[in-house]
Amino acid sequence: MSQAVLRIAVQKSGRLSEDSLNLFKECGIKFDNGAGKLKATSSNFPAEFLFLRDDDIPGYVEDGVADIGIVGENVHVEVCKKVSEVKKLGFSKCRLSIAVPRGEAYNGVQDLEGKSIATSYPVILGNFLNSHGVKAHIHEISGSVEIAPSIGLADAVCDIVSSGGTLLSNGLKEVDVIFRSEAVMIGYPDMPAEKQNIVEQLLFRIDSVQRAKN
């Protein structure tokens, strides 16, 4: 009988990649992720790594092509796939915030009534507005969201903020934090027992690494 191998989806290159790879390395899991590689098999742990765009990871896990994956909680919640959050990982922390032009007054979410808001996160923003009974036009764009007010595309933006530097350099101010995010491990909900077992071993190692740091 062939031994089960856990397929792990990680971001190929971006803000999650380095910390994701370091996490596995700190767990003592060896693999070769040489430049341009899309797949790597560990030499000392029953795991195989798939290097993908972060947006594609929840779908791969939902389809069972990957068993687990690492994404930002913002992506996990936005895409609403049938995958479960297995563990919060504590890195790639950021927030999803509303920002308006610096010179404009903002006294609360009700000020967004009737306004147009540019975002790449229409689901999370829509839920936030609904929960406050505010009706606004959500303008979905996939990138360079912060430029929208200055080119007349929207009155406000809802985007990921980390240092705040990008908002500042685009003449915007952060006025409401609507979601706080960090990297999370997501998993296929109906994993066979032998793969579940490998996930347990991995989680045990991650816990030890995290405990040693605190």
Q: What is the DSSP string of 67-119?
A: SEEEEEHHHHHHHT-S-EEEEE---S-EEEEEEEETTS---SGGGGTT-EEEE
Q: Is 54 in the site for ligand PRT (CB under 6 A)?
A: yes
Supply the minimum distance, in Å, between the C-beta of residue 75 and Zn ion.
7
**Residue 148, helix vs strand vs coil:** coil
* Interaction residues for ligand PRT, span 84-143 (CB under 6 A): 92, 94
Helix (H, G, I), strand (E, B) or coil at 154: coil
Q: Which of 54, 67, 111, 155 binds Zn ion (CB under 5 A)?
A: 54
Residue type, 206: I
Residue 55 binds ligand PRT, judged by CB under 6 A: yes
CB nearer to Zn ion: give 45 or 121.
121
Q: What is the rounded CA–CA span in Å between residue 208 and residue 134?
A: 45
The answer to whether residue 160 forms part of the interface with ligand PRT (CB under 6 A) is yes
**In the bound complex, what is the minimum distance in angstroms from residue 2's beta carbon to ligand PRT?**
31
CB of 108 to ligand PRT, least distance (A): 22
Give me 46's structure tokens: 């029953």
- Summarize as ranges the residues that interact with ligand PRT (CB under 6 A): 11, 14-16, 53-55, 72, 74-75, 92, 94, 159-166, 181
